[in-house]
Chain A
Amino acid sequence: MKRRTFLTVAGAGAATLAAPSLLRAQSAVRIGLITTLSGPGGYIGADIRDAFNLAVEMEGGKLGGVPVQVVVEDDGFRPGQGKTVAERMLRNDGIKLLTGIVFSNILGATLPDILDADAIYVSPNASPSNFAGKECHKNFYSIAWQNDTLHESAGQVAKELGHKRAFILAPNYQAGQDALAGFKRMFGGTIVGEQYTRLDQTDYAAEMAAIRAANPDVVFQFHPGGLGIAFLRQYAQAGLIGRVPMVVAAPSLDHTTLKAVGDVADGLWVSSHWNVDFDNAANKKFMAGFTQKHNRTPTYYASQSYDTALAIAAALRQTKGDIKPENFRTAMVKADFASVRGAFKFGPNQHPIQDWYALKAGKSASGEMQIVTQRKVLTAHGDIYAPQCKL
Chain B
Amino acid sequence: MSLLFVEQVLNGLQLGVMLFLLAAGLTLIFGIMGIINLAHGSLYMVGAYAGSIAASATGSFLLAVPAGLAAAAVTGLAIEYIVIRKLYDRDHLDQVLATYGLVLLFNESISLIVGRQPLFVGVPPALSGSIEILPGMTFSVYRLTIIVAGLVIAAGLYALIQRTRLGMLIRAGATNRDMVRALGVDIKLLYTLVFGLGALLAGFAGVMAGPLLSVQVGMGEQILIMTFVVVVVGGVGSIRGALFGAIVVGLVDTLLRAFLPQLVRGMLSDPSEADQLSAGLASMGVYVLMAIVLLWRPQGLFPARS
Measured CB to CB, the residues of A under 8 A from B are 38-40, 42-43, 46, 172, 177, 180, 194-198, 200, 202-203, 205-207, 209-210, 213, 225-227, 229-230, 233-234, 237-239, 256-257, 259-263
Contacts and interface: CB of A to CB of B under 8 A. Distances in A.
A92 B275 CA distance: 47
Nearest to B1: A213
A233 B211 contact: yes
A172 B214 contact: no
A197 B256 CA distance: 12
B291 interface: no
Given A205-B11, A206-B8, A198 B279 contact: yes
B4 A238 contact: no
B167 interface: no
B254 A40 contact: no
Contact of A202 (B8, B120, B213): B213
Contacts of A260: 117-120, 214
B283 interface: yes
B74 interface: no
A40 B218 contact: yes
B266 interface: no
A195 B138 contact: no
B116 A43 contact: yes
B87 to A, nearest CB: 27
B289 to A, nearest CB: 16
Given A206-B254, A259-B120, A40 B216 contact: yes
Interface of B: 4, 7-8, 11-12, 14-15, 18, 108, 111, 115-120, 122-123, 128-130, 138, 140, 142-143, 209, 211-214, 216-219, 222-223, 225, 254-255, 257-258, 261, 271-272, 275-276, 278-280, 283
Which of A197, A203, A226, A237 has most B Cβ within 10 Å?
A: A203
A237 B128 contact: yes
B113 to A, nearest CB: 14
Contact of A200 (B138, B216, B222): B222
A234 B212 contact: yes
Contacts of B216: 40, 225-226, 229
A39 B218 contact: yes
Contacts of A202: 209, 212-214, 219, 222-223
A115 to B, nearest CB: 31
A229 B214 CA distance: 6
A202 B15 CA distance: 10
B211 A40 contact: no
B60 to A, nearest CB: 17
A209 B212 contact: no
Nearest to A180: B272
14 contacts: A38-B111, A38-B116, A39-B218, A172-B283, A196-B278, A203-B18, A206-B257, A213-B4, A229-B118, A233-B212, A234-B212, A237-B128, A239-B130, A260-B214
Contacts of A194: 271-272, 275
B126 to A, nearest CB: 14
Nearest to A232: B214
A210 B275 contact: no
A172 B119 contact: no
B111 A230 contact: no
A180 B275 CA distance: 12
A172 B130 contact: no
